[in-house]
Amino acid sequence: MEKIIRIAVQKSGRLSDDSLSLIKECGIKFYNGTGKLKSTSTNFPIEFLFLRDDDIPGYVADGVADLGIVGENELVEKNKSVTTLKKLGFSKCRLSLAIPKGQEYNGIQYFEGKNIATSYPKILGDYLKAKNIKADIHEISGSVEIAPSIGLAEGICDIVSSGSTLMMNGLKEVEEIFKSEAVLIANNNLEGWKSEIVEKLLFRMNAVQKGKSNKYVLLNAPNESLDKIVSLIPGMRSPTILPLAQEGWSSVHSVLSEDQFWENIEELRAAGAEGILVVPIEKMVI
């Protein structure tokens, strides 16, 4: 039997594009034509299953797929036993309680005895239980934000990102109950050879993620300020310093996180750095 692992990704929706981009950035090639629900990579031992996100935790728990990419909200809601290997940093959103804009809100007690529409009955139920609130949870599978305006519920609990869907439906966010982002999950009992392939994939994903969160910085500096500048941008091991054609000046090359760059920019300029270039890094292996 050919040694190949299976990964479940969302067929189409808020997770799909970023999931597939990440896999492509890992150098993994595959055909992804519309309507095709299964595809095998041509250069890495992995097969893709394109599914609804609701089904991904269950398929991974049952071993139908070895890996999956899914939102933490869906993972916790489905309550399946799988291993979370890695947070992926995309599809960031929150689950929040919201009520009609005109209603006065005086704390979580507001929901006592009320009717709340949601697609996340478990997460909401656990939250209300922890807060000692008894409310009536009305499960619906989509377009949750419409529920109050058609008299189906007095409040809702749904995914919020920019907040524009709530606003367009005359609702206001009153409690954030869960924060979510996409995660890579794995079956709990992967055989040894499968774990080896998963490790190779993780190695590539880490290199892509590290590359994204770091920048390659090049700058020119007078030689007398090199010590100060090196201390501000120490790099992976230490910066590269090359002499410029102009006497008394050097070019300094280093790698640092974008946050660190912005934190240090004023000090770098004050130390005499100029001609500063910040360049994206595609992959980074430490």
Ligand X SMILES: O=P(O)(O)OC[C@H]1O[C@H](OP(=O)(O)OP(=O)(O)O)[C@H](O)[C@@H]1O
Ligand Y SMILES: Nc1ncnc2c1ncn2[C@@H]1O[C@H](COP(=O)(O)OP(=O)(O)OP(=O)(O)O)[C@@H](O)[C@H]1O
Chain residues binding ligand X by CB under 6 A are: 14, 142, 145, 158-165
Q: Is residue 10 a contact point for ligand Y (CB under 6 A)?
A: yes
Q: Is residue 180 a contact point for ligand Y (CB under 6 A)?
A: yes
The conformational region for residue 270 under phi > 0 = left, psi -120 to 50 = alpha, else beta, is alpha
| Count of positions (residues) in the chain | 286
Which residue lies nearer to ligand Y by CB, 53 or 175? 53
Which residue lies nearer to ligand X by CB, 95 or 255? 95
Residue 243 binds which entry of ligand X, Mg ion, ligand Y, none, with Cβ cut-offs from 5 to 8 Å by kind?
none
Q: Is residue 53 a contact point for Mg ion (CB under 5 A)?
A: yes
> Which part of the chain contacts Mg ion (CB under 5 A), choosing from 25-33, 49-57, 154-162, 187-195?
49-57
Cα–Cα distance for residue pair 60/8, rounded to 1 Å:
8
Count other C-beta atoms under 10 Å from residue 157's C-beta. Answer: 28
Cα–Cα distance for residue pair 220/158, rounded to 1 Å:
51
Closest approach, Cβ 163 to ligand X, in A, equals: 5
Strand ranges for the chain from DSSP E: 5-10, 38-40, 46-51, 67-71, 83-87, 93-100, 115-118, 136-139, 155-160, 171-180, 182-186, 214-222, 240-243, 249-257, 274-280
Which residue lies nearer to Mg ion by CB, 15 or 20? 15
Gap between the terminal Cα atoms of the chain: 35
Closest approach, Cβ 60 to ligand Y, in A, equals: 15
Give DSSP secondary structure letters for 155-184: EEEEEESSSHHHHHTTEEEEEEEEEE-EEE
Burial of residue 184 (CB within 10 Å: 0-12, 13-18, 19+) is buried
Which residue lies nearer to Mg ion by CB, 53 or 175? 53
Closest approach, Cβ 119 to ligand X, in A, equals: 8
Which residue lies nearer to ligand X by CB, 138 or 210? 138
Closest approach, Cβ 25 to ligand X, in A, equals: 23
Q: Which of 18, 54, 258, 267 binds Mg ion (CB under 5 A)?
A: 54
Cα–Cα distance for residue pair 125/89, rounded to 1 Å:
27
Q: Which two tokens stand for residue 162?
A: 């920019």
Closest approach, Cβ 185 to Mg ion, in A, equals: 15
Residue 122 binds which entry of ligand X, ligand Y, Mg ion, none, with Cβ cut-offs from 5 to 8 Å by kind?
none
Residue 164 binds which entry of ligand Y, Mg ion, ligand X, none, with Cβ cut-offs from 5 to 8 Å by kind?
ligand X
Q: Is residue 161 a contact point for ligand Y (CB under 6 A)?
A: yes
Cα–Cα distance for residue pair 172/84, rounded to 1 Å:
32
Q: Is 277 helix (H, G, I), strand (E, B) or coil?
A: strand
Residue 117 in contact with residue 150, Cβ under 8 Å? no
Q: Which of 5, 88, 93, 207 binds ligand Y (CB under 6 A)?
A: 93
Q: Is residue 96 a contact point for ligand Y (CB under 6 A)?
A: no
Q: Which residues bind to Mg ion, rule: CB under 5 A?
A: 53-54
Q: Which residues bind to ligand Y, rule: CB under 6 A?
A: 10, 13-15, 52-54, 71, 73-74, 91-93, 159, 161, 180
